């Protein structure tokens, strides 16, 4: 299946100043597949070392971390000479091999001719630990679950995607196309963007198999909690993780520690939340005191919302049955619109808005997302139904006079003055 990140990998390959590349991302988002495809397509030879499958590979790095010695060791292990030209070296699950992670610094400094990509499910957690590499010696890319556009392309709708991405106005689409896209997005909300899940459904059209695969992924995440963290912290991570779907189901989706456990405090769980964030399993959206640049300088880190990395896994956690896909609007509004907000957060982050915020004014107005688009601060409100109410957006506009105000909803494209209704299927074109 085509992935947008392939273009970024090509840019890295052709950059004369490139450094070893670290590809981060949660387990099962397709990192290994895309690197193998990239290596086999763009290089004459791909050399792959998986440190989780073969822990003994760590010994190749333990004597000394000089690149010349490491390459010699790998060559002896493989029984063939490794060339610098037209060869991609792939260190997979590198988070379990701290020595290999540290070696990337020396490859950048002493042997930059080698093309090296490293990937790992918990790289975000590993980065910054002792014995790791110094920042500045590697390039970073982050991979996420497949976006709605990637799902559409995999479903044979590449022409529609091209049309949406080349659209230069906000004129409504023909109703038959609009309805077709709404059906697709309901299916995507249920399936999510995990590549193995989507591939299985597109090949077999078997919803029960989809749910089995989603549950398998959730179980793999649960195993990671205990495998890569001390027992006490693993329990806290699991408690946070299990609470997220039900926190999102509330009318007020602000995360509350006492919803995890009675009398719980931030000091008890803040490390667990940070672990989930660095592992790529949750997206954190902070409350914004004032919409001013830089947005991060005006964030209230004590108030936030947690969203899942993937709506399909959210549907599995909530045990939604597949018949909801056939109903006109129920999935949009289910659990107080949790799926729609989760979807919009994921799409925005996947398309470059790495830091998201929300705005709330007393108890009278709340805007779901505040984004910085080319130094323009824009409010984005999410509506799960066809309600035309713009009270919160209008309240924000009266106070801060933004250039545009944006609503994401199941409605078609609409523009009225500085107000834009962005259909849910076009969130990635904001």
H or E element, residue 365: strand 365-373
Dihedral over Cα of 230, 231, 232, 234: its sign: positive
Contact (Cβ atoms closer than 8 angstroms) between residue 45 and residue 55: no
pLDDT at residue 334 is higher than 80 = no
Least-confidence region, from 97-111, 164-178, 328-342, 392-406: 328-342
User: Which of 164, 119, 167 lies closest to 139 in space, CA to CA?
Assistant: 119
DSSP H helix total and E strand total for the chain: 15, 13
pLDDT at residue 138 is higher than 60 = yes
Model confidence over 179-203: pLDDT tens digits?
Answer: 999 999 999 999 999 999 999 999 9
Q: Is 271 helix (H, G, I), strand (E, B) or coil?
A: helix
Instruction: Tell me the average pLDDT of the chain.
Output: 92
Q: Is 50 helix (H, G, I), strand (E, B) or coil?
A: strand
More confident residue, 385 or 273: 273
Return the residue matching tokens 């009270």: 391
Return the residue matching tokens 């995990």: 194
pLDDT at residue 131 is higher than 60 = no
Q: Which CATH class is domain 5-142?
A: alpha beta
Q: How confident is the model at residue 130 (pLDDT cuts 50, 70, 90)?
A: low
Distance, CA of 59 to CA of 317 (rounded, Å): 40
Crossing angle between the packed helical segments 175-191 and 158-166, to the nearest 10 degrees? 110
End-to-end CA distance of the chain: 24
Structure tokens at 131: 């014995």
Q: Which pLDDT value is given to residue 31?
A: 97
Q: What is the largest distance, in Å, between two alpha-carbon atoms of the chain?
A: 70
Q: Stretch 357-381: mean pLDDT, rounded?
A: 93
Domain ranges of the chain: 5-142, 148-429
Model confidence over 212-242: pLDDT tens digits?
Answer: 999 999 999 999 998 888 898 999 999 999 9
Q: Which pLDDT value is given to residue 323?
A: 80
pLDDT at residue 335 is higher than 80 = no
Q: Which pLDDT value is given to residue 56?
A: 96
Contact (Cβ atoms closer than 8 angstroms) between residue 369 and residue 357: yes
Model confidence over 246-284: pLDDT tens digits?
Answer: 898 888 889 999 999 988 889 999 999 999 999 999 999
Sequence-separated (6 or more) residues with CB below 8 Å from residue 79: none
Q: How far is CA 33 from the centre of its chain?
A: 17
Q: Which pLDDT value is given to residue 134?
A: 57
Of the chain, the percentage scoring pLDDT greater than 90 comes to 79
Distance, CA of 8 to CA of 21 (rounded, Å): 11
Distance set, CA 105 to CA 102, 125, 358 (Å): 6, 18, 38
pLDDT at residue 347 is higher than 70 = yes
Model confidence over 281-327: pLDDT tens digits?
Answer: 999 999 999 999 999 999 999 999 999 999 999 999 988 888 877 66
More confident residue, 93 or 384: 93
Of the chain, the percentage scoring pLDDT greater than 70 comes to 96
Distance set, CA 78 to CA 47, 57, 61, 383 (Å): 9, 11, 15, 56
Partners of 284 in the β-ladder: 306
Q: pTM of the predicted model, to two decimals?
A: 0.92
Structure tokens at 140: 């970073």
């Amino acid at each position: 299946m085509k992935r947008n990140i392939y273009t970024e990998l090509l840019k890295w390959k052709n950059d004369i100043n490139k450094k070893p590349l670290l590809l981060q991302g949660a387990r099962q988002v397709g990192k290994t597949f895309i690197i193998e495809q990239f290596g086999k397509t763009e290089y004459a030879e791909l050399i792959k070392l998986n440190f989780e499958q073969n822990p003994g590979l760590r010994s190749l790095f333990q004597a000394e971390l000089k690149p010349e010695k490491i390459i010699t060791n790998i060559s002896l292990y493989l029984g063939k000479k490794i060339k610098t030209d037209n060869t991609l070296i792939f260190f997979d699950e590198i988070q379990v091999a701290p020595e290999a992670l540290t070696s990337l610094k020396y490859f950048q400094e002493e042997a930059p001719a080698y093309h090296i990509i490293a990937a790992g499910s918990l790289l975000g957690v590993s980065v910054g630990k002792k014995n790791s590499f110094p920042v500045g010696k590697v390039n970073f890319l982050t991979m996420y679950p497949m976006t709605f556009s990637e799902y559409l392309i995999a479903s044979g709708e590449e022409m529609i995607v091209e049309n949406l991405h080349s659209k230069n106005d906000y004129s409504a689409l023909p109703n038959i196309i609009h309805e077709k896209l709404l059906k697709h997005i309901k299916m995507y909300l249920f399936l999510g963007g995990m590549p193995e899940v989507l591939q299985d459904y597109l090949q077999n059209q078997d919803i029960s198999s989809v749910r089995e695969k989603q549950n398998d992924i959730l179980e793999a995440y649960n195993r990671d909690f205990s495998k890569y963290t001390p027992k006490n912290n693993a329990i806290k991570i699991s408690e946070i993780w299990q609470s997220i779907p039900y926190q999102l189901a509330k009318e007020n989706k602000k995360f509350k520690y006492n919803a995890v456990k009675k009398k719980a405090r931030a000091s008890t769980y803040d490390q667990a939340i940070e672990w989930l964030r660095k592992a790529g399993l949750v997206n954190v959206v902070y409350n914004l005191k004032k919409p001013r640049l830089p947005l991060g300088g005006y964030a209230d880190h004590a108030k936030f919302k947690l969203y899942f990395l993937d709506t399909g896994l959210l549907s599995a956690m909530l045990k939604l049955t597949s018949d909801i896909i056939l109903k006109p609007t129920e999935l949009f509004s289910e659990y107080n619109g949790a799926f729609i907000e989760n979807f919009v957060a994921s799409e925005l982050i996947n398309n470059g808005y790495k830091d998201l915020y929300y705005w709330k004014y007393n108890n009278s107005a709340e805007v779901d997302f505040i984004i910085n688009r080319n130094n323009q601060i824009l409010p984005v409100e999410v509506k799960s139904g066809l309600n035309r109410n713009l009270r919160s957006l209008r309240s924000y506009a009266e106070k801060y006079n933004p250039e545009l105000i944006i609503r994401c909803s199941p409605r078609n494209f609409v523009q009225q003055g500085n107000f834009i209704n962005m259909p849910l299927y076009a969130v990635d074109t904001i």
